[in-house]
Amino acid sequence: MIDVKIHLKKPGVKTPKGTCYVVAKNGAFIKREEWWARAIVPAKRIVGLDEEQTSFQLLLPPFPALELAKAHKFFRQTYIRFGSEACVLFYHTVDGYKIHVPQQCVDAGGVECDTSEVLPGDVCGSIHSHVGGVKAYHSIVDQQDEEYWDGVHITLGVITTRQDFSLSVQAVVNGHRFPVDMDWTQGLVPVKNGRFVIDCPEIENWVIPEEWTERVHPFPNDANFISFKEIKKPPKPRKEGP
């Protein structure tokens, strides 16, 4: 039985007098009021409560080979056009997974994409490419981008004109990362050096939609460039000064 009060820190609600635990936006604290001092410090343990363990179980259905192959074909096309990375989102509807290509600016070392569009299903995560000799992993920049983006994030590495690639799949929940079993992505056939190809004959006849291709732009060679959204904006009319 816990005999110390637990206070939820909310705007306009006073913390009670005496010793208590305070659960706030930035974690759990303990407030101590002693004869010699008053202090609020982070609480590593809350006496009287059971311990909890970090855990994760993926409930999404497996990711089909054809959708992975579509992303891979699109990444190879973008590599051939610009020598660059690219990114797609994937969402889930009653008809299964669908891939969405957001507006994006790309180069060999990164992608900036517009994730603000509302899609006709639940967005489950992202897939992006690493090109040339760069393997599939979740770089510091990737981890920063994905920190507040709950879902499954897939990286396809060593994308070139070749068919083989490396793969890394991680899930993110509230900034915590969890590895996802390789079996979740279907159709993977190991080749050599930790690389895979996709067993998916249907991809031969699948043509990359034109609107996917049109949504990929190389980063402008302009020091004043702020965001890819600027690309589509018409130039501001110049004011004629007196």
Shortest gap between Cβ of 75 and Zn ion (angstroms)?
Answer: 12
Select the span of 13-21, 60-68, 142-150, 172-180 touching Zn ion (CB under 5 A).
142-150
Please, which residue, 142 or 164, has the CB nearer to Zn ion? 142
Q: How far apart are CA 101 and CA 73, in angstroms?
A: 13
DSSP percent split of the chain into helix, strand, coil, nearest 5: 15, 35, 50
Q: Which residue(s) pair with 176 in the sheet?
A: 173
- Least Å distance, CB 202 to Zn ion, is 28
Rounded to a whole number of angstroms, the minimum distance from the CB of residue 156 to Zn ion is 10
Taking residues 9 to 48 in sequence order and writing x for each that binds Zn ion by CB under 5 A, - otherwise, the string is: ----------------------------------------
Cβ–Cβ < 8 Å for 184, 62: yes
Confirm or reject binding of residue 146 to Zn ion (CB under 5 A).
Answer: no
Query: Closest approach of Cβ 112 to Zn ion, in Å?
Result: 12
Query: Count of alpha carbons within 13 Å of 85, Cβ hemisphere only?
Result: 26
Q: Which x/- pattern over 195-214 shows residues binding Zn ion (rule: CB under 5 A)?
A: --------------------
Whole-number Å distance between alpha carbons of 155 and 127 = 6
How many positions of this chain bind Zn ion (CB under 5 A)? 2
CA–CA distance, 216 with 77 (Å, rounded to integer): 11
Min separation Cβ 133 and Zn ion, Å: 14
Strands 104-107 and 216-218: parallel
CB of 67 or CB of 146, closer to Zn ion: 146
Query: With binding defined as CB under 5 A, does residue 142 bind Zn ion?
Result: yes
Nearest alpha carbon to residue 104 among 220, 210, 213, 215 = 215
**Binding segment toward Zn ion, per CB under 5 A, in 42-50, 70-78, 136-144, 172-180:** 136-144
Q: Is residue 198 a contact partner of residue 156, using CB atoms and an 8 Å limit?
A: no
**Minimum distance between the CB of residue 177 and Zn ion, rounded to whole angstroms?**
14
Cβ contact 82:72 at 8 Å: no
The letter for the amino acid at 148 is: Y
Q: Summarize as ranges the residues that interact with Zn ion (CB under 5 A).
A: 139, 142
